[in-house]
Structure 1
C-alpha cells in the first residue's frame, strides 16, 4: 500500500504542478460506457500494464462504464519505427483487433535523441500519425479519440554509472512542448508527463549511492536498503524510475495521478478509497497477465509466422492449433474484464471460464510403443546402464522427477555462491497452455549431507514462463523470460524470491528455442546471452535511441545490468547456444543448430576459422571442465552437450594456435543409447563434480512436431553427477554469508568455477569494502612472479566489474612475464576504451595515447595473442597511435587470427589516410608505417615521402603508373644504387617476371621501350631470352 508520507508527496507535487502543463491542457478525456481503450507506445506504455495503476484509476473514475483496456505498448517503439517478428500484425491491425474507441499514445522519448535538429521531422511524423489515426475506424463505426502523452523527465538517480539526464531533459522538454502544440492545433487531449514528473523529482532527494550497504527499513526494487531519513532535511522518496527512464511502481502510480489530474479534472480521486483502487488494480493485473500472452504470444514464428503453416498429422498445422488457443486466451481476458467491472462497483467476483472454446485435438507424429502411443521412460538409475562413461569416471543420479516432481524439463542450470545447484524447470515448454498452470520454476537442489545426492527441492520462484536463461548477480538472480529480463531476490533468507522486478525489455520470443539463453558473466562484470533467428529485438536504454536487431542479428549480446545498456557482441548462428570463459578470460561460443564453435577474439566481428572440427549437432550448452577433482588431462577442456544423434557430452582439449585457439576432440565424458536422454546444460558443482541436466524427452524441436504434440513430455527431468573414480571431491566453499575478505580470498582458488562464484558474490557487496579487501589480499603477491599473475588478473577483474578500475595494476600486468596475463590486461583496456568510446567519455584519447603510446612494444610482443588483442583495443579509439600499433603488428609473424584481426582493423581505421596525414604534417613516417606505405600507399602518397630505395622500388612496382613518373623513379633508384638505369630496369623486370606480375610488367615494358636505343643494345641478349621464357 502507498504510505501516507509518499501519498502526501505525490499530491503535493500535483498541487505545485507548473503552469506549463496547464496551458496545454485544453481538452478533457470524455469516456462513454463500453469504450475500448488501447494504450500504445514505447517501453513506458509497455511497463504500465505490469503495475496497473493507470487502468485501475480509469475504472475507479468510471465504475459503471465497463471499460475495456488493452495495452499494446512495445519496447522501443517510435512514431515511425515499430518492427515486429514475421506476421506479428501491424499497429492498425492490432488496434482493429481490440476495437479501439480511444487510443492513448506514449511517444517522444526515443525520438528526442535526435535533438533540436530533429524537431521539425518529429512534428511532421507526429502530425502524420495523428492524421492517420483519426482517419481510421478501429471500432468499425467512428474515428477514435486520441490522447497524446509526453515522455517523462529523465530522472537523475545520482548513480555514477547512469546519465544524469540534464542534457537529455532539454531535448525531452522540446519534444514534449512540440507534442503540446500539436495537441492544441489538432484539439486533442494532452498529458504533460514531462513537467509533472520533473516537479515530483524536484521534491525528492535520492542518492543511489546508498543502494549498497546502508541500514534502514525500506528497500529499493533490487532489495537494497534505504535510510529512513535523509541527512539534508529534504523529503525522502523512492525513485520514479529504475534507470532514469523506465518507471518503477511509484512512477506508475505518479503517472496515473498525473493522467487523472490533467485529463479527468478530479485530482484527488485516487486517494478517495485507496483500498477499492487496490482491489481494482489486482483484478487489472490478473487480466493483463492473460492479455500479455495474447499480444506478446511466445513462439510467434510457429503461432502466426513462417512455421505456423507446417503440416503434421491429417494436415493439421500449428496455426490451426495456436489460433484456437489465442481464441481461448481472448475469452479468458474478456472474462477477467467482468471481474474488474465488479471490483469497480465495490463487489468481489471470480472469473468464470465455463465459456471457453475447446482446444483442438492434436495427434502425435511420433507415437511411442506403449498403449495409446505413450513413450517408455527408463527410471533415472536404470538410464545410467545405457550410458557409456569416460574411463575412470562414474555417474550417479543427483536428482530426478522420481524424487522431486517439480524437476520437469530442466533447461538451464547454475551454481550459487554457496555451491548449490539451481535449475530452471520449463514444464510449459514450448510455451504456456492456457488450460494448464503457468508454473515454470527456478529450483534449488541442495546436497546438505554431501553424499552426492540432492536432499531437497526448493522452489525459489514459481509462476515463471519460459525461463530460458539465468545467472546470479547482486545478491539475487537475473532470469530471461522474453520479452523481459527479471531480477529476483530473497530478502529474508528463506530461499524464496521476495523481489520480482522487470529490469530490461525488448527480448523477442518468436522462437523460445532461440531466445535469450546461455547467460554468463564476463570477467569484467558484463553479462552475455545468445539469441537466434526469427527475432526482432528492440532495446530501449537510457543511453540513446532504440537499438534494433532484426533476424540477421543472430549471435552473442553483451548486456550490462549496472548501466542498462546492451550491444551486439559477436555474430554466430543461426541459433547460438553456449558461451563460456576460460581462466584467462578468453571467450568461446557455440551455435546450437550447426554445432560449430568460435573463439571470440574480436568482439563485434567474426572469426577466421572454426574452434574445432564439428562432429555432432545440435548443441544446447558448453562448459569448461576446470576442477581439481578431475585428472590433469581433463582440466581446462571444453565440454559440449549434444541432444540428437550423439546424445551425450563430448570433450575437447584446447591448443593455442598463434593468436587463436583450436580444440581437438578427445574421449567423450559420456553418451547414452537412451533416445530420451537430452543433456541440456552442465555445471561444475561446489564439490568439483560435473553436473549434467537431462531434459529427458522422446521428442524435441519446434519444426519437427506440432507445438502441442502429445508426445512432448512435461513430467520428466534428471540431473546426473559425474565424478572421477578414486579421487576426493572438493570441500564446498560457502560464500553467501562469508566476510568480504574471505570471499576475496576465494579468488585465489585453483578452480575456475570457484573463482567465478567469488566474483558473482562480490557483485552484491559494498564496492569500497571489496576494493579495500582486494588491496589487502594483493599484498602477498609479487607482480614479477609469473606464478602470481593469475591472482593479479583476478584482482584487476574485480575492480573492472565494480567499475573501480585499478589502472596502475593494469599497466603493471601489461608487462607481466606471463603472456596470458599481458593479454588479459590488454583486453581490460580494450573493454575500457570501447565502453568509453560509446559514450564519448572525455579524456579517452589522452589516456589511450598515454597508455598505448608507452607500451607500443606490445605490438611486437612474443605472444601473437597479445599483439592481436592490442590491435583490437586500438580500433576503439583511433588516431596516430592506433595506426602505429597496426603498422607494427603487420610487420610481425602472421597467423590466421592475427591476420584476420589486422584486416578487420584496416576496415575501421583508414591507414592510408593516416599515412597522408603524417606526410601532410611534414612528419617522417615510422619504419613500420613506411613499410606499410611501401606496400600499400598510392603513388601520389609515395611521391610525398622522403625518397629512398624502398620508395623508388615501390613506385616502380605499382600498376598503371605514368611513364614519366616511372622514369623519374628509375633515375633516382639507379643513382642511389650507383647502377646504370638500363641495368636497374632490366633486373627489376626479370624479378617481376619470376613473380608473374603481369600488370606491373606491362607498365615497365612501356618504360623499357622509352629507353635510348644505345642503352637497349646493352641488354639485347637478355631481351631475347626474356621473350622466349616470359611467363
Structure 2
C-alpha cells in the first residue's frame, strides 16, 4: 500500500500547490525511444557562453544513482540495478546485508554466481580528452545501494540497512576488507533511502533521508530501541576516535522536509537541501525542526515548525541533487547560487540565495539547463575537479517507480549518462585540475595552501586529506596562520 499512498500524496500535494506561483517550462514528454547521447546533447539548451559535454554514457555507466570523486579526481558511481524492489535472493546470498553483529573489519566474502546486482564502479579519463575511457568495478553484490563517498582508504556506501566501509589497503582498486559502521537504515520507500553523503566542514559525514522510510540508526550490536529515529532531514556521523576500528556516533542534525535528495553547504557552512512534493528548497540549521510532508518530529515540544525558504514552484514534485556553486570557473554572477535538478521537469534550475536575518530567501533566476528530452533524470549535480558542474543522469522514461509499474518493461536497466556543463571558450578537455592529480601525495604545506584554491572541490578534498593524514600535528601551525590572516575569506577559513 505504501507506493499507492505515496503516489496519492504526491498527486494531492501537486493539486494543492497549483494555486501558488508556479514556473512551468516547455516540457518534453518521454518518447518510447530514448535519444542517443549525441541526440540528447543536441537537444539541450543552456545559457549563452556555456555548452554541455558528455563524460560517460551507456554501456560505460548504467543506472547511476550516486557519485563522488577520489583524491585523484576519478569518478566513483553507484549503479543501482536492484531499484526499486531490492533483490529477491535469500539472506545467505546477500553478502553485505543481514544483521550486523559487530563493527569490525572482515575479509571480503567469496561471491557466488547469484548475488545482488548493485555495484560501485570507477570511471577515469586516462588520455585527457574529456571522456571516460576506463571502467573498473570496485565492489559488487550490493542491494539497494544509494549513497557513496570516498574516505579513510576506501569508500563509504549507504546500502540498507547499513552504512558500510570498504577498505582498499594496497591501492589496486579492489576492496580488501569491509565493515558495518552503522545499521538500522530502513527501506519502506525506496525513493527515500539514505542518500547524498557529504563531508561537512566539521569533519562529520552528512546524509539525507526521506519521510516515509523509518530508520533507527545505531551501532552494530545495539538494541533497536537505542537507535536514533531518522525519517526526514539531515543526519550526520563521525568516528569517536582515530582507531581504524573505532566506534562511530550518529545524530540528527536537522529534522523535517519530505524526501530530501541532495545536500550541500555554502562558503560560510550553511546547509541546504532539496526536497520533493512540498516546497523544494530548505536552509537547515543545526537542531532545527522543519515542516514535513508527513509524520511528526521526534521532539514533541516543537510547536511551530520552521518553513522552507521559497515562495515559488517549478513543475511538479521531484527534485534531486543540489549544489551551491563555488567552483571558480563560471562567471561571478553564478557564485553562491543553488543549482537543483528537477526530475519531472527534465531541467537544472538556478536559484539565487539572499541572506535574510538568520536565514535566507531563495528566488528563481533561470533554467540553467533544459534537456528538452523526457528521458533526462538529473539525480545529482556536483562541482567537479575541473570547477564545472557535473550532472548524473539516471536516464529513464519514467520519473518514479510508481509510473514504471504501469509498463511491463518497468524501470530501464541499460542507460545512464554523466554530463559536464563547461564554458564554450574552455579549450582544455581535461576533467581534472592537474592531469597527475593526487592530493593524498601532497606535502602538508601544499595541502594547506590548497585550502585557498578557487575551486571548492579542491578546497574540500584538501581538507579531507588533512583530516586523514597521520602527521596532523605538522598542519597545526600553517592552518593557524591561514585562519588568522585577515586577507583570507570565509571559504578559506572554513
TM-score (norm: length of structure 1): 0.39
Deviation at 1:472, TM superposition (A): 1.9
Residues 626 and 492 of structure 1, relative CA distance in 2, 3 Å threshold = same
Corresponding residue number in structure 2 for 1:735: 439
CA positional deviation for 1:478: 0.9
Q: Which has the higher contact order (CA 8 A, sep 6+)?
A: 2
> 2:77, 2:148 within 8 Å by CA — same for their partners in 1?
no
* 2:161 is aligned with 1:456: no
- For the Cα contact (< 8 Å) 1:749–1:755, is it kept in 2? yes
Residue in structure 1 matched with residue 332 of structure 2 by the alignment: 632
Bigger proportion of residues as strand: 2
Question: 5 Å matches for 1:145-184?
Answer: none
Distance 2:171 2:474 in 1: 27
Is structure 2 residue 361 aligned with structure 1 residue 662?
Answer: yes
Residue 76 of structure 2, aligned match among 422, 437, 446:
422
2:459 partner SS: helix
Alpha-carbon spacing, 1:307–1:627, altered in 2? closer, same or farther (3 Å): closer
Residue 440 of structure 2: SS of its match in structure 1?
A: coil
Q: Per-residue displacement from partner, 1:100-145 (whole Å, max 9, x unpaired)?
A: xxxxxxxxxxxxxxxxxxxxxxxxxxxxxxxxxxxxxxxxxxxxxx
Residue in structure 2 matched with residue 431 of structure 1 by the alignment? 85
Question: Which residue is 1:528 aligned to?
Answer: 206
- 8 Å CA contact retained: 2:267, 2:491: no
1:320-719 equivalence runs, <5 A = 375-402=32-59, 404=60, 407-434=61-88, 438-541=116-219, 546-549=226-229, 553-562=231-240, 563-606=247-290, 608-616=306-314, 617-644=317-344, 646-706=345-405, 709-719=408-418
Displacement of 1:433 after TM fit? 4.7
Secondary structure of the equivalent of 2:196? strand
Write out per-residue CA displacement over residues 490-538 of structure 1, whole angstroms, 9 at most, x where no aligned residue: 1111122222222211001111210101111211111221212333322
Question: How far off is 1:763 after superposition?
Answer: 3.3
Q: 2: CA distance between counterparts of 1:574 and 1:735? A: 37
Measured in 2, the distance between the counterparts of 1:643 and 1:586 equals 25
Shift in Å, 1:705: 4.1
TM superposition shift of 1:689:
2.1
Deviations 1:704-736 (A, max 9, x none): 343984132101001111101214666234213
CA contact (8 A) 2:319 2:341 kept: yes
Local SS of the residue matching 1:762: helix
Q: 1:453 to 1:714 in 2, by over 3 A?
A: same
The question of whether the paired residues in 1 share the 8 Å contact of 2:165 and 2:180 is answered with yes
CA distance in structure 1 between the aligned counterparts of 2:65 and 2:492, rounded to whole angstroms: 35
Pair 474,508 (structure 1): closer, same or farther in 2 beyond 3 Å: same
Of 725, 737, 748, 2:424 maps to: 725
Supply the distance in 1 between the matched residues of 2:207 and 2:66 (Cα, whole angstroms). Answer: 13
SS in 2 for 1:376: coil
User: CA offset at residue 576 of structure 1?
Assistant: 1.5
Does residue 773 (structure 1) correspond to residue 427 (structure 2)? The answer is no
User: In the superposition, relative to structure 1, how do residues 624 and 792 fare at CA in structure 2: closer, same or farther (>3 Å)?
Assistant: closer
Report the alpha carbon displacement of residue 473 of structure 1 after superposing the two structures with TM.
2.1
CA distance in 2, matches of 1:739, 1:610: 43
In structure 1, the partner of 2:463 is 759
Structure 2: distance between partners of 1:502 and 1:790 = 36
Q: 1:479 and 1:443 mapped to 2: Cα distance? A: 12
Deviation at 1:684, TM superposition (A): 1.4
Question: How many angstroms does 1:540 deviate by?
Answer: 3.0
How is 1:162-311 mapped onto 2 (pairs within 5 angstroms)? 301=2
Shift of the 494–714 alpha-carbon distance from structure 1 to 2, 3 Å rule, reads: same
Please state if 1:783 is matched with 2:484: yes
1:410 deviation in Å?
Answer: 0.7
Q: Give the number of aligned pairs.
A: 422
Deviation at 1:368, TM superposition (A): 8.9
CA distance in structure 2 between the aligned counterparts of 1:608 and 1:587, rounded to whole angstroms: 15
Question: Comparing both structures, which one devotes a greater share of its residues to helix?
Answer: 1
1:789 Cα deviation after fit: 4.7
Residue 424 (structure 1) shift: 1.1
Given that 1:629 and 1:728 are in contact with CA atoms closer than 8 Å, whether structure 2 keeps it comes out as no
Matches within 5 A, 1:1008-1019: none
Give the structure-2-normalised TM-score. 0.78
Distance 2:479 2:79 in 1: 39
Structure-2 separation of matches of 1:702 and 1:711: 8
Residues in 2 aligned to 1:672 and 1:588: alpha-carbon distance in whole angstroms: 25
In 1, distance between residues paired with 2:5 and 2:338? Answer: 35
Cα deviation for residue 413 of structure 1 reads 1.1
Shift of residue 428 of structure 1? 2.1
Contact 1:641–1:648 at 8 Å: present in 2 too? yes
Distance 1:731 1:676 in 2: 31
Q: State the 1:558 CA deviation.
A: 2.0
Counterparts in 2 of 1:65-76, with a 5 A limit? none
**Cα contact 1:429–1:714 (8 A) shared by 2:** no
Quote the RMSD (CA, aligned, Å).
2.9
Q: Give the 3-state SS of the residue equivalent to 1:457 in structure 2.
A: strand
Q: Runs of 5+ in structure 1 lacking a partner?
A: 1-85, 87-300, 310-366, 370-374, 795-1031
SS of the equivalent of 1:610 reads coil
Post-superposition Cα deviations, 1:270-317, rounded to whole Å, max 9, x if no partner, equal: xxxxxxxxxxxxxxxxxxxxxxxxxxxxxxx45xx96799xxxxxxxx
- Distance in 1, matches of 2:407 and 2:158, equals 23
Equivalent pair of 1:783/1:789 in contact (CA under 8 Å): no
Q: CA–CA distance in 2 between the matches of 1:580 and 1:490?
A: 27
- CA gap 1:452/1:612 in 2 versus in 1, 3 angstroms: farther
After superposition, the C-alpha distances for 1:226-245 in whole angstroms (9 at most, x for unaligned) are: xxxxxxxxxxxxxxxxxxxx
1:383 Cα shift? 0.6
Q: 1:388 to 1:472 in 2, by over 3 A?
A: same
Q: 1:726 to 1:307 in 2, by over 3 A?
A: closer
Matched with 1:229 is: none
Greater Rg, structure 1 or structure 2? 1
Does the 8 Å contact 2:181/2:219 carry over to 1? no
1: CA distance between counterparts of 2:490 and 2:408?
51
Q: Deviations over 1:985-1031 (max 9, x none)?
A: xxxxxxxxxxxxxxxxxxxxxxxxxxxxxxxxxxxxxxxxxxxxxxx
